[in-house]
Amino acid sequence: MHLRRTDRGFDRPTPSEITPRTVYEARRAWLRQMAAGAAGLPLAAWAARDAQAAFARPGKLPALQTVPSKAAGAGTDEAVTRYEDVTGYNNYYEFGLGKDDPARNAHTLRTSPWTVEIDGLAAKPGKYAIEDLLKLSPLEDRIYRLRCVEGWSMVIPWAGYSLSALLKRAEPLSSAKYVEFHTLADKATMPYVGSRVLEWPYVEGLRMDEAMHPLTLLAFGMYGEVLPNQNGAPVRLVVPWKYGFKSAKSIVRIRFTDREPRTAWNKAAPQEYGFYSNVNPDVDHPRWSQATERRIGEGGLFAKRRKTLPFNGYGAQVAQLYAGMDLRKQF
Ligand code: MTE
């Protein structure tokens, strides 16, 4: 590991270290494999080959009429990040490990037909077609900051409704303490499902009160349009006070359970990614500080970093959920 000492006294990671270790190692192995397999074909040319298949904006959803949100914390005065950045700089490991891989590769994702199954500890489990899910509650405009565990952030206008609207329909039993989210894992259309970076499907989880919190969003669109595939079409979670990896993309199953879910990142590196993963500038990632962040679109790597706020700035709305907990231990 190669760390630089900064004048502020903490170790700032080099860009290679901002990538989770498992991903970084897998990417190196993949590059070696590619270099060996594509002997004679320079890597850049190989990469440019399928950049042709790059992504086209998906356009308006017929049902994408939004209403202003009344949820406290659903707006911000901060500048919205450029659409090109939000759709061109992604983490969606099913489609590759590089930030530009999802935009290039996710066109293979089939988002229709799509159903979301709700099961587990609930009186009214069910299966919803995406068309019915869209109509279940009015879609609201919500502008959220998204803070990635890697140290960058964006400001994104979403269209969706509180996840609680859907969860309540299923009538969870009193024994249901957690909600688990399973996302699509289809080897035929997702080139990295089957790779050893993570266990598939990508699973995430929330405690019941977190899942029911009005800010927890089930999102169907962004920037007034359908979610692009690389951002988690056709339906994803957005949990603005947690690191971005909690916001599962392309959800196919929601399960009520009495046990804390084993999540994909927690399984891959438990000492680095805890179950809660609330944005917390006071708890460093084992390999880098979480005190500051780089806002994507603000002048590249040399732009002044912003201070990261506790709960990503949503403390007034969510801090009480964690009263009495030691968030250094339950990170
Ligand atoms: N969901 C799935 N299914 N697969 C993923 O790899 N990556 C997570 C999260 N949801 C991921 C996922 C991570 S690490 C982040 S930071 C956010 O998605 C990124 O969301 P964005 O690309 O829309 O900004």
For residue 20, the model assigns a pLDDT of 53
Residue 179: closest CA among 239, 221, 231: 239
Ligand 1 centroid from CA 101, angstroms: 12
For residue 25, the model assigns a pLDDT of 55
* Count of CA atoms in the C-beta half-sphere (13 A) of 33: 6
Between residues 48 and 201, which one has the greater pLDDT? 201
Segment 155-180 shows an average pLDDT of 98
Kindly state the tokens that stand for 40: 């004679």
Segment 242-248 shows an average pLDDT of 98
Ligand 1, pocket-test mutation among 89, 91, 180, 195, most atoms within 8 A of CB = 91
Ligand 1 centroid from CA 316, angstroms: 25
| Alpha helix stretches (DSSP H) within the chain | 15-18, 21-37, 43-49, 83-88, 101-105, 130-135, 163-169, 208-211, 264-268, 315-318
- Does the CB atom of residue 109 touch ligand 1 within 6 A? no
pLDDT at 12 over 80: no
For residue 77, the model assigns a pLDDT of 93
Q: Is 238 helix (H, G, I), strand (E, B) or coil?
A: strand
Residue 310: closest CA among 145, 86, 190, 133: 145
Global model pTM greater than 0.75: yes
Q: What is the pLDDT of residues 53-101, one digit of tens each?
A: 457 788 776 667 889 999 999 999 999 999 999 999 999 999 999 999 9
